[in-house]
Structure 1
Amino acid sequence: MTQDFIDDMTERFKIGKKIHKKYVYQIILAVKKLVYDEPTMVEMEIPEGTQLTVCGDTHGQYFDLMELFRLNGTPNDKHYYLFNGDFVDRGSWSTEIALLLYAYKWLRPKAFFLNRGNHETDDMNRVYGFEGECKAKYNERIFKLFSESFSALPLATLIGTKYLVLHGGLFSDDKVTLDDIRKLDRHAQRQPGQAGLMMEMLWTDPQDEPGRGPSKRGVGMQFGPDVTKKFCENNGLEAVIRSHEVRMDGYEVQHDGRCITDTATPPRTGERTSTSAPTTS
């Protein structure tokens, strides 16, 4: 993979063109192997003088992603990126976004990171559009390859021992630790199911009230500021960074600064862009 290839692909996508299927296969297969070999919780150190930008749900909004890169800079060795799941579904350019993110992962595997979201799953892709879009633009085999690669993605990233980034949120059990996440064999369970650590990492949401409550989604649960405080204290964390919900300003800080919700793109109008929140070192 080269930057020239990515630049050419980016411009082709802007005018509604595709890349040849042989390149699509190569990109997906290469990235599937890269992410499969990464741990369930990637542990990242940011070199001095390097910036990291964490981006939440892009949901097939290709031109909003282009605007984010224009405003914030494209990935390079001094500007790391972490995309925190939900690359696809809902928007009409999900295939293009997935290919672009994968191409950058292949080009810069130590400076470009991907977490799995609840929309990198078969059930959600079937209902919310990515499966149909991918089959229409390419074919069923390419969709199946994407599905296999999604199930290989890491579930969390630990930044400098102090910030845990995962798509959904925290857990129904106060005893869950970072070691439990490290030990989770995500390859033994391709889809998150209705219970367990993987499901909670992809699906839960914060609430203002203390304790835990039922989820408005019908899957997972909601967790209060006391839950976040205890988890951070038990695991030596400053904060949990998550996505999974739209925030009009691009991000929201909750739970006394310990829970940060980050969204890369605005509500799905395709017309306006909000920037994600950078973490710098």
Structure 2
Amino acid sequence: MELETSQFEPGKLPREFVLAAMDHFKDQKLIHKRYVARLLLSCRKYYESISSLTEINIPTDPPEHDPTTEPRVTVCGDTHGQYYDVLNIFEMNGHPSATNPYLFNGDFVDRGSFSVEVILTYLLWKLHDPACIYLSRGNHETKNMNKIYGFEGEVKTKYDDQIFELFLEVFSYLPLAAVIGKSVFVAHGGISTNEKVMLDDIRKIKRGIEPPETSLMSDLLWSDPQPFPGKSPSKRGVGFAFGPDITEHFLERNGLSLLVRSHEVKEDGYLIEHGGKTITIFSAPNYCDTMGNKGAFIHFDKTLKPNFTQFTSVPHPDVKPMAYSAGMGGLFGL
């Protein structure tokens, strides 16, 4: 299917092309470099133009593929290059559309060895219809992580250095957090331990850069919850862990009801903490082919109450996780 350059613009990419590309990827084939370059250039321009904080509304109509369900937004956590598990999510929950929107909460790449296919699929849907899929940056949408955990090697094997640099530019402009229905705050790592941070501070974060070691951006990408009050240095060596009191104060002063974050593998695919105020969602089942965990995603309808769906891993071609990595690294540290 041949496309014109003008079709690689938000809202103009044909759905048929996206579906054909997904089938191509499923068969371990790539789309041409010229299409990837156009896609990445267009996405960089698009993301550069929008806020660091995405506002997402619950659709007014039910998903077209399942009109008996309530209108909803689907939130997924880390998918980490597990393309065949992403296909399974779409099989279970329907393809992205304006009436079936998804929010993927960072860490699309690294670890799994089909990261190129995962992120290209998400970006193709984004150009098809910006209202059908939302992406927030994770700590693995960064140059340092990509160098260690496989994405750089994978892109340079499947394409080249130029395409990898374009990916980094797109990553640097991705939004850093989202609010669903003016009530549910979603960020990859979590929240800042600074008790004065407001949503406007997040909106004003300068993007187009790699995350500074200590910054509000790094807090959103790297932080983790802890069960006891207050803050502690992160076990990851970057940022802080935040207690239930910090979560409650952040939600109260910003008029929010719930924090959803990802960033950590969970045996059941999700974990509810902080008296029900913090949810971790993780969508890469049998993480790195070794963990045996379930994956999960969350539906939010107009009630804004979380509704969880769990799933197990599906078979994938015989390419091991971390096949393109510069160094194995620890499975759990970052």
TM-score between both structures, scaled by the size of structure 2: 0.81
Give 1:18's aligned residue: 30
Worse overlay, 115-124 or 173-182:
173-182
1:219 aligns with 2:231: no
Alignment partner of 1:234 is 2:247: no
CA separation in 2, counterparts of 1:193 and 1:29? 24
The amino acid of 2:249's aligned partner reads K
Secondary structure of the corresponding residue to residue 134 of structure 1: helix
**Secondary structure, in 3 states, of the residue corresponding to 1:276?**
strand
What residue number does 1:265 align with?
A: 284
Q: Which residue of 2 aligns with 1:4?
A: 16
CA displacement 1:91-142 (0-9 Å, x = unmatched): 0000110100000111110231110000000000001110010000000000
* Equivalent position of 1:247 in the other structure: 266
> Conserved in 1, the CA contact under 8 Å of 2:219 and 2:239?
yes
Moved more, 124-133 or 42-51: 42-51
Aligned equivalent of 1:37:
49
User: 1:58 touches 1:65 (CA, 8 Å); kept in 2?
Assistant: yes
Structure 1: 5+ residue stretches without partners: none
Amino acid at match of 2:28: G
| Contact residue 51 and residue 80 of structure 1 kept, 8 A | yes
Displacement of 1:77? 2.0
Aligned partners of 2:34, 2:177: CA distance in 1, in Å?
A: 31
- Secondary structure class of the residue paired with 2:79: coil
Work out whether 1:68 is the aligned partner of 2:89: yes
Q: What is aligned with 1:46?
A: 58
Q: Which residue of 2 aligns with 1:194?
A: 213
Candidates 118, 126, 149, aligned match of 1:97: 118
What is the CA distance between 1:272 and its match in structure 2?
7.8
Give the Cα separation in 1 of the matches to 2:88 and 2:110: 19
Return 193-202 or 244-253, whichever deviates more: 244-253
- How far apart in 2 are the matches of 1:163 and 1:253? 14
Does the Cα contact within 8 Å between 1:208 and 1:255 map onto a contact in 2?
yes
Q: Distance in 1 between matches of 2:82 and 2:178?
A: 23
Worse-superposed segment, 125-134 or 43-52: 43-52
Residue type of the alignment partner of 1:2: P
Match of 2:313? Answer: none
Higher Cα Rg: structure 1 or 2? Answer: 2
- CA-CA distance at 1:47 after TM superposition: 2.7
| Among 30, 39, 55, the residue aligned to 1:27 | 39
Question: 1:275 Cα deviation (Å)?
Answer: 2.9
Which SS does the other structure have where 1:18 is aligned? coil
Answer whether contact 1:242 1:259 (CA < 8 A) is retained: yes
Contact map agreement 1:213 1:221 (CA 8 A) in 2: yes
- Structure 2 match to 1:147: 168
- CA deviation after TM superposition for structure 1 residue 84, in Å: 0.7
Displacement over 6 Å in runs of 4+? none
Q: Deviations over 1:201-243 (max 9, x none)?
A: 1000001111111211111110011110111111111011111
Could you tell me whether the CA contact under 8 Å between 2:257 and 2:277 is conserved in 1?
Answer: yes
For residue 104 of structure 2, what is the aligned residue in structure 1?
83
Tell whether the 8 Å contact from 2:73 to 2:301 is kept in structure 1 after alignment: yes
Q: 1:159 aligned to 2:180?
A: yes
Distance 1:78 1:92 in 2: 31
TM-score (normalizing by structure 1)? 0.96
1:236-275 per-residue CA deviation (whole Å, 9 max, x = no partner) reads: 1101111111112221111111111111112221898623
207, 210, 222: which one pairs with 1:203? Answer: 222
Aligned residues: 279
Q: Percent identity?
A: 47
Give the partner amino acid of 1:215.
S
Residue deviations 1:141-199 (CA, integer Å, cap 9, x gap):
00000000000100011112111111111112111111111122223xx0112101001
Amino acid at match of 2:161: E
Q: Which runs of 5+ in 2 are unaligned?
A: 1-12, 62-70, 303-334
| Aligned residue type for 1:222 | A
- Structure number with higher helix proportion: 1
